[in-house]
Amino acid sequence: PCVAVGVCQRAFKLRGKQPGWTRSSWAYHGDDGNSYHGSGVSGVSYGPRFGAGDVVGCGLCRANDENLLAVYFVLMRRDEAPRPLGVAYLIDGMEPLYAVVGMDSPALRVTVNFGAAAPFTLPDAQGALAATVAGLLGATDVAFGVVES
């Protein structure tokens, strides 16, 4: 089974293809740990595989160039320190981006926190990590969400 976490543009169709398999989406896939953009065949080695019980943070921040956005991921496993995976993509920030989660089986379940029902907060160590990543990128804003599979 595969859970894919990432961002997409309005043109991305929510059925039929996993996030990252089209030119209008960018994603990190749990089944192989690859990042994908524009193709379901040619993923790029990015991080470890993830699955049940793992928490994946997807961060988005403005890079030094005002039109570029950096998309990065953090993997958090039970009883382990958060593991920043680094910047996966630098993308043109002129078009709105939306959070997206893809699953290849109706039997899969995820929990997503975008902060609407309850503010999303990171424990102190994780919050410091997000701030460090943002600082390294010259970020001016940061969004962070979590998926548990």
Give the pLDDT confidence of 59-92 residue by residue, as tens digits: 888 777 678 888 989 888 888 877 889 899 999 8
Q: Kindly state the percentage of the chain with pLDDT values over 70.
A: 75
pTM: 0.80
Summarised one tens digit per residue, pLDDT across range 106-134 is 888 888 876 666 554 555 555 555 555 55
Q: Tell me the three state secondary structure of residue 126.
A: helix
Q: Tell me the three state secondary structure of residue 70.
A: strand
Q: Kindly tell me if the per-residue pLDDT of 19 is higher than 90.
A: yes
Please check whether residue 140 is in contact with residue 64, taking contact to mean a CB–CB distance below 8 angstroms: no
Please check whether residue 53 is in contact with residue 110, taking contact to mean a CB–CB distance below 8 angstroms: no
Averaged over 50-55, what is the pLDDT? 88
